[in-house]
Chains A and B, each alone.
Chain A
Amino acid sequence: QKEVEQNSGPLSVPEGAIASLNCTYSDRGSQSFFWYRQYSGKSPELIMFIYSNGDKEDGRFTAQLNKASQYVSLLIRDSQPSDSATYLCAVKEGQGAQKLVFGQGTRLTINP
């Protein structure tokens, strides 16, 4: 059983600080990695995806991937109260099939 692991939190960060969310995965053959944000009672929405080792930046969000360590992270700069949500890490499993395996999510709270 391929696994995706996240710290369930809650993670509490002051407004304006950097929030760092981490995810590890067990399938060394995984090629595609995704971060979703989910507000309470709502469906997940895609924030970032990353396929190559290194950093990928989009506005206040940066995804970091280290395939050798089987580790992917999401940094949120200048955290805002509206960033308070559960963040789900997902890993594409297998070749061709669009089967995504999700971690259990990290609940993030930004304190004003």
Chain B
Amino acid sequence: DGGITQSPKYLFRKEGQNVTLSCEQNLNHDAMYWYRQDPGQGLRLIYYSQIVNDFQKGDIAEGYSVSREKKESFPLTVTSAQKNPTAFYLCASSTTANTEAFFGQGTRLTVV
């Protein structure tokens, strides 16, 4: 079954902790993205990557970090520097030839 898998579905973080959200795709897509969605809001781009070992900041990269060591994987770390991390995090991927992006099921992060 081809698709994008995000884990975990729900994640709770204590103040001052770093947490890592997983995103894996088996669609052979070159580009991968991380978005953040707050209640009643649209999606805001955190980071994106077009090829392995390369990534660019989006509009709200502060307090986040990513890596792209494999084509299939694009993990997002929410660091303690992110002051308001409670949100719904969405990972997406697309080919470079076609521009449609497809989303994983999302990770809901809550600070406790």
Contact = CB atoms under 8 A, between A and B. Distances in A.
Interface of A: 1, 4, 6, 8, 32, 34, 42-46, 49, 88, 90, 92, 96-105
Contact of A100 (B40, B101, B104, B105): B101
A86 to B, nearest CB: 9
8 contacts: A42-B106, A43-B104, A44-B43, A49-B99, A98-B48, A98-B94, A103-B42, A104-B41
Contact of A44 (B44, B90, B96): B90
Contacts of A34: 99-101
Contacts of B31: 98
Interface string B28-68: 00010101000011111100101000001011000000000
Given A97-B50, A105-B42, A46 B33 contact: no
Contact of B45 (A45, A46, A101): A101
Contacts of B43: 44, 88, 90, 102
B23 to A, nearest CB: 12
Interface residues of B, number: 26
Contacts of B48: 97-99
Contact of A46 (B56, B96, B100): B100
A32 B89 CA distance: 24
B96 A99 contact: no
Nearest to B104: A43
A33 B103 CA distance: 16
